[in-house]
Chains A and B, each alone.
Chain A
Amino acid sequence: METVLISVLNGLVYGMLLFMLASGLTLIFSMMGVLNFAHASIYMVGAYLAFTISQVLGFFPALIIAPVLCGLIGAGIEIWGLRRVHHNGHIAELLFTFGLVFIIQRLVQMTWGMLPMAYRVPPLLDFPLFHLYGVNFPAYRGFMLLVSGAMLLSTWVLLKKTRVGLIIQAALTHPQMVSSLGHNVPQVFTTVFAGGCLLAGLAGVIGGNYQTTEPGMADSMGPIVFVVVVFGGLGSLAGCFVASIVMGMIQTFAVVVDYSVADLLRPLGLAISGDTLLTEVLTVPVARIGALLPFVMMVTILFFRPRGLMGTRDA
């Protein structure tokens, strides 16, 4: 029981972190049709910036400044990069962001070095929040939930209840019409791109000390975020939210499940023995193949529902 409760909480924390990244990606995608491959790289930049700023000014100023810087970087990428390749089609835009991944990766390594950074949880939040059946739940994870919850709420209010959100939503589906009504659509695009990068940066700030801040963090996070976006359905924020939480739960529960397919078959009277590829696949415990599960899930859902969980349109 206690493992289940703690895993649910941890899964929620991880899922919300994933959602912060995936929501920006989905927003950018549904608006501009651009899949920003460099999204996870911005997440990494956010973590590194937060580390540097928190050493000078402390963690809480970094919580504000680093995402804003990431947003500015995003605006720069949109204005000086994406706009120039836009007329060459979607493939060119994809290729452009793909090239950015290499450059940001190496720039980060060149600026901060190859070793992991000592980016730690701020002392103010470094205490156990509560005990659950003798297991500590760190206050910092509660704080992460708080930040991501606040971000979810404010994004929702911004998109659904304000004039800016109205224009953004309109530009999602009818860019020409919005433009005819006198709104500056390219500027809306830049805002959305910058906003998505800001969210990625924020995820980096609170995720950098939850995981480790090291040059490989973009590579390890990137594919998972893309899986979440595809799984939830391209262009659907609600689907993206569900997919993030599901993925967070699966990733945390996979670690504690020590069963394999063979264990499921045993009560049915099927004993598996031998030493071949098939028996290896069947007897490997779930805990060992945790990293594989997101991709298996993605391939499965695409097989049955090519548009993803709540996708409304093809790419």
Chain B
Amino acid sequence: MKLYYFSEMPHHEFPDEEGDKYPSLRLEFPNRFFDREKAAANYQRYLTEYEFADQAGFAGLMINEHHSTPSCVNVGVNMTAAVLGRTTRQAKILLLGNILPIEDNPVRMAEQLAMADLISGGRVLSGFVRGVGVETWWSNSNPVHNRERFEECHDLILKCWTEPGPFRWEGRHYHFRHVNPWCLPLQKPHPPIWIPGTASPETAVWAGRRGYTYVPFLVPFEIARELFEFYRQGAAEVGRAVTPDNLGFLICAVTAETKAKAIEAGRHFVWRMGPTLRAPVEWFAPVGMRSRAGTQFALRARPRSLSSMSYEELLDGQFIVAGTPDEVIDRFARVQRELGVGHLLLEAQESRMDHPTTMRSIELMGTKVIPAVTRL
């Protein structure tokens, strides 16, 4: 099983009591609380941690994108990919990912991803996501078109990568008269495509049909297994075999020399589960964004919201893993046994987890955990 390092690049640089005054940290928490100097320093710090994760032997560096939220100030996943493409050497660069439904120019996205792939020497893993509702508000994109735009944007990017230009694209949501990108990915026919899942059966089936790597995020094991079943249904429809390489899983994880230190560090993940997910339901799931099946599944997948769980419950539920290297190896082995995944994505830094703690965790993952887990 391969391990991936991931930080949301949080900007938790404001007094919590200020954030508590607003219905959510997303969309309406005023950006006067954005600290420019600290943000500048943090980008350097976060990139250093990614570079160290590459040196430590992580198979991949996962980056993501959100908007209008201090939980993630990585606001341009393709920009980060270009930077890491130049400053890292070995690890894959997993963009998980670009938010397709809110993109107005899939051709530009195809070009940017191709450029990142070229700069990185063909290390891009190109994840495509539907995004959470907050990004729909941020971009003023109609949520009832979310899935249609996701699929059409995907189709056009793939066409840019795989069919010779020039060509014309007249779709339902995208219209381009002259498509002929003079930038194509190094990997042939194109970078591998990854798809995350939290609650949408349709997305799992769709990814299965195409053989894309499918990664449930922060769901209970039994829900991940159900989503993998939908994935297998999609794969079976087209006679595609499913291997561990098609399946991944994402959890939060930190390690330290002692259990006490790790447990202390792991507390920082609670911010990501709690305060940053607090918002009216319409902000995360605006009308029409989810199908009825997706809505029903979401209710079952999350009988209790992550934000309502205590740290201890999050540890018990395996949403957060925090322990010594041996304990962490044990937990990761359990994930592998339970789910049969080939990729384990570790959200490995959050909130105010400091640089030395983060670096030490990366180092211990590299020296102790990765060698053991790679054999699983």
Partners in one complex: no
Q: Which residues of B contact A (CB under 8 A)?
A: none
